[in-house]
Amino acid sequence: MRNKRLILFCLIVALSLAIAATVLLVILSRSGWSGSGPATNDVYYYQDEAPPADPLIVGTWQNTRNPGWYKVYYDDYDGDGYYWGKEWDEAEDVFEEDLSYHGNGWFRWRKEGKNLKELHHMDVNQAVIPKLWRLQTKPDSLLLYSTENKKHCDRFGRVAEEE
CA angle 95, 139, 135 (to 5 degrees): 75
Chain-wide mean pLDDT for the chain?
87
Q: Could you state, in order of their start, the residue ranges of all structural domains in the chain? A: 1-32, 59-158
pLDDT range class, residue 128, cuts 50, 70, 90: confident
CB atoms within 10 A of CB 154: 17
Encode 78-110: b = buried (16+ Cβ within 10 Å), e = exposed: eeeebbbbbbbeeeeebeeeebeeeeebbbbbb
Mean pLDDT computed over 48-69: 91
Confidence of residue 46 (pLDDT cuts 50, 70, 90): low
Half-sphere exposure of 71 (CA within 13 A, CB side): 22
Higher pLDDT, 51 or 42: 51
Residue 47 confidence (pLDDT): 61
Average pLDDT over residues 93-99: 93
Find the mean pLDDT for residues 13-30. Answer: 86
| Angstrom distance (rounded) from CA 91 to CA 41 | 54
